[in-house]
Amino acid sequence: LQLTRETAILAAVVGFLITAIIVVNNLRDIQTDAKVGKKTLAVILGERGTRVEFLLLLVGAYTIPIILWVIGLVSHWLLLPILSTPLAFSLVRYLDDHTGADLNWALAGTARLSLIFSILLSIGLFFSTGRP
């Protein structure tokens, strides 16, 4: 078993989505955290900045595999996670219009997105083994 540069990068991509779950959680709790003096990154960035952070994490998760494919480092099979973009778009739109406890839906949705993306990425890795 060998850890390649591409595998490490793709693991980081999945990490972006897992981090997005934490970002939604912190966005949901931003008002209560600020009231009790918690200095989470969401409190420091504010609601708008935290929404931008969420967007950037998702953009990174979807863009990096495309870049790796364009430069010839991975197979086209690693583009399978792109099939989950409609869910990602719906989450970004939802985050723009909701706050507080309403974000529980986005929290669950981001976890679901992470799972679906990861399954699609795993299928892509399975089919691309030895076929860059």
* pLDDT per position as a tens digit, 70-105: 999 999 999 999 999 999 999 999 999 999 999 999
Surface-to-core class of residue 83, CB atoms within 10 Å of its CB (0-12 exposed, 13-18 middle, 19+ buried): exposed
pLDDT above 70: residue 127: yes
CB 5 within 8 A of CB 56: no
Confidence of residue 31 (pLDDT cuts 50, 70, 90): very high
Average pLDDT over residues 4-31: 95
Average pLDDT over residues 27-33: 95
pLDDT above 80: residue 130: no
CB 92 within 8 A of CB 59: no
Surface-to-core class of residue 121, CB atoms within 10 Å of its CB (0-12 exposed, 13-18 middle, 19+ buried): buried
> Which residues in 50-70 are b (16+ Cβ under 10 Å) and which e?
bbebbbebbebbbebbeebbe
